[in-house]
Copies of this chain bind each other. A is one copy, B any other.
Amino acid sequence: MATTPSKLPYLSLFLLFVFAKSQPTSAIAPRFPSSILRPHNNLHSPAFISASLDANHNPQQLYREEFFTQVLDHFTYTPQSYQTFQQRYLVNDTYWGGAKNKAPIFVYTGNEGGIEWFARNTGFMFDVAPHFNALLVFIEHRFYGKSMPFGGDAKKAYKDATTLGYLSSTQALADFATLIVDLKKNLSAVDSPVVVFGGSYGGMLAAWFRLKYPHVAIGALASSAPILDFDDLTSPYSFASIVTHDFRSESESCYRVIKESYDLITHTATQSGGVEKLRSSFHLCKKEDVDSLSGWLDTAWIYTAMTDYPTPSNFLQPMPAYPVREMCRAMDDPKTGNDSFAKLFAAASVYYNHSGTAPACFGFGDDYYSEELGANGWNWQACTEMVMPQGASDEESMFPVSAWSFDNSSCDPIYNIFPRAHWITTHFGGHKIEQVLRRFGSNIIFFNGLRDPWSGGGVLHNISTTIVAIVAEKGAHHVDLRSATREDPEWLRDVRRSEIRIIGRWLARYYHHLAHPRPNHNKRRPRVHVY
């Protein structure tokens, strides 16, 4: 049974898991017994592609694959640091206005997974590229996908801390800067403005990139980027609270059935014939240990909350529009009956079997995750610097109570490395962000959908006239970055229109300043302080 302490690391690794599972026609679920979740990017599923980019995009012509020789360590000069690796990036120049016109370059700052998956789930960039005549570039994050240091060999790269040690957010940002600067030189496009885009961890990277490399990117669209989900900045309970709120807002009884399910399942498992009852109620395969059942259900609730999109989607699993509502409808449907297990199974099936093609029994996930894809990457990051407090409080949460405590126990035995829990706020800030950035920095959009559990750690208020928050009350995890569809509700169209308008303003101002520079250093512009 998923006990309270073991849930913590599981919750703290969600960000990875958002992008981890994409077997659209399979009902294979993740394994929870271990606290280590491993990603799988099924990049080549045609169903997946067609669902993530609309019919206007020919998947064959979405992008071409390129590689850039990157140094292993930007910040030190040991002989080891000079080792290089091939970093993958994807390019689409279909819509680019060209270097001569100083046409813009839109760069996706890749997150924890193969870059193709992010490219194909960021239809927004393809949608707006023609409008801006933008070159599209999607850069893969080191240690994921094909961007493997140590000879491109994931087994070597993921061997232990001596190699994995080079997987960090700061190195990734420096990779992006180095690649972009070089790419612009090679394209003779040094005057082309760069705007960075990213969702989730990629959104954090986009925002941080604008803050740390303002000379490389003129602005950032940071979608669902929980940059305040560190240290003591955000309640550790916010994530669980928002998931809870998502369900409760649809149906009080739905919420209550889930909230009571943990005790009920635990109790049932101890009864004579209870395990068999659980197996048959949830159509579990015989080999599965029902101790993992609650975790399997949690996955359904949480990822459905995150992807509670207003249109059918295929982000993590094939899903109907407003899937949380669908879950609660299935639960509350009189046809489902009054049995709690039947209700829970009906709801979970919205996540695990929306396509109706599930196998005869459900498993909790086979060990199908590929290490070649950089499987343990986010676990490493969460065990070193991405320490995002997660817990659940009784009053607010439909999940069992679990207090957050800074506990290294799940990381130490694996990597023999201790987290640097305060590094992210030391390096990137976060405390008093409104005061700090009120007169520092510019040109960042923080988008958050309030249905998204990660929005609790997001920037939800305008900080200055150019560091702005776009908040969609009905939005889920980086819904704005998804391809536009004819079914999109008006609020989502409005969000995207705002983003386009703001980015357009950044570009207009950039070109204006480029065309009308201030008098330069040649003594034409007076120095204000001369003595």
Contact = CB atoms under 8 A, between A and B. Distances in A.
Interface string A479-504: 00000000000011011001000000
Given A432-B215, A435-B514, A514-B435, A162 B528 contact: no
A385 B76 CA distance: 10
Interface string A358-372: 000000000000000
A193 B460 CA distance: 25
A427 B214 contact: no
A491 B420 CA distance: 48
A162 B418 CA distance: 23
Copies of this chain present in the complex amount to: 2
A428 B181 CA distance: 12
B531 A214 contact: no
Interface string A506-531: 00011001100110110001011111
Given A74-B75, A82-B418, A440-B442, A427 B177 contact: yes
Contact of A215 (B429, B461, B521, B528): B429
A161 B79 contact: yes
A475 interface: yes
A380 B73 CA distance: 17
A178 interface: yes
A373 interface: no
A430 to B, nearest CB: 7
Contacts of A435: 510, 513-514, 517
Given A165-B78, A435-B513, A513-B438, A468 B529 contact: yes
B528 A462 contact: yes
B214 A162 contact: no
A426 B531 contact: no
Interface stretch (A32-40, A167-175, A248-256): A167-175
Interface centre among A76, A162, A431, A460 (most CB of B within 10 A): A76
Contacts of A492: 531
Contact of A439 (B74, B442, B471): B442
A416 B78 CA distance: 10
Given A166-B78, A521-B460, A528 B468 contact: yes
Contact of A77 (B161, B442, B470): B161
Interface in A316-352: none
A436 interface: yes
A298 interface: no
Given A75-B170, A214-B441, A530 B471 contact: yes
Nearest to A510: B435
A414 interface: no
Contacts of A431: 190, 215
A178 to B, nearest CB: 6
A472 B531 contact: yes
Interface string A410-447: 00000011101011011111111111111111110000
A309 to B, nearest CB: 14
A523 B510 CA distance: 33
A434 B215 CA distance: 10
A289 interface: no
A212 interface: yes
Contacts of A181: 422, 426
A469 interface: yes
A42 interface: no
A111 interface: no
Question: Which 7 interchain pairs have the tightest Cβ spacing?
Answer: A78-B165, A215-B429, A491-B531, A470-B529, A75-B75, A77-B165, A214-B440
